[in-house]
Structures are given as C-alpha cells and as structure tokens.
Structure 1
Amino acid sequence: MPIVVDIDVLMAKRKISVGDLADRIGITPANLAVLKNGRAKAVRFTTLEALCEVLECQPGDLLRWEPETS
C-alpha cells in the first residue's frame, strides 16, 4: 500500500505507549494497532486531529505516500 503510517515513529520519539495513546485519543488499543500497523482502510478526521494534538505533530508527520514498486 503506498500510504505509510508513521505513528509508531512518533510514539517512540514521544515515549508514549499504545495503551496510553489510545486512552488519550479515545479509541481502543486494538483500533490504534490497526492504524499503527497500516491495516486501516480509513481514518476519521477526529481521530487524526486527536493524534496530532496528543503527539504534537502535523498530519503529514503521521502519513506519507510512497510509490509502489513493481
């Protein structure tokens, strides 16, 4: 998938656990894991906003596009 999710990178930089981040943004740890591992098909803007607020970042810090290699 050409959209890469870098939530785990920011979590490591901010030294925050999956459980703590999930609590602070209001989703379950399982749903955060789906987002974090790039398996989500969509993300709500409210969730993206909460992630940016808690991780003190911009949406582009969390998501990036990489071309597919054939």
Structure 2
Amino acid sequence: MIPQDLRHLPPPEPMEIILDEVEQMPAGEVRAWILPHHPVPLLPMLEREGVQYRFELVEGGGVILVLSRP
C-alpha cells in the first residue's frame, strides 16, 4: 500500500477526498494518506463511518493516516 500524499492540498480538500474514498471502501480494505498534521475534525466522522484508523509519523513532518474497514 502506497499512501497518497495530500499535504499540498488546502483544507478542506484532504478531508473531502478521504471521506469520499471511505464511503466506497469495501470490508477488509486498507487505504492510507499522508497529511501535514493529525486531522482532528475528521476523526469523529471516521468513527461514524465504522472505519478503524491509526497514525504513523512521517520523517520530516506530517502523519500517515491508515484506515481499514472491518
């Protein structure tokens, strides 16, 4: 899995892209995105969608958001 780098996009574009993709994620799928910081406003929305998430730090700044749908 290669994360999609969204650090260059202005808000709210990264959140919109992630939410659009989450709606289409089938069970068992894992996807990842590189973001400039923890997307705190996005987390409750992900929980409502029933996806699991975790973060990995990016060397040089940013985080990788990894989502999976059980």
TM-score by length of 2: 0.29
Structure whose residues are more often helix by fraction: 1
Higher RCO structure (Cα 8 Å, ≥6 apart):
1
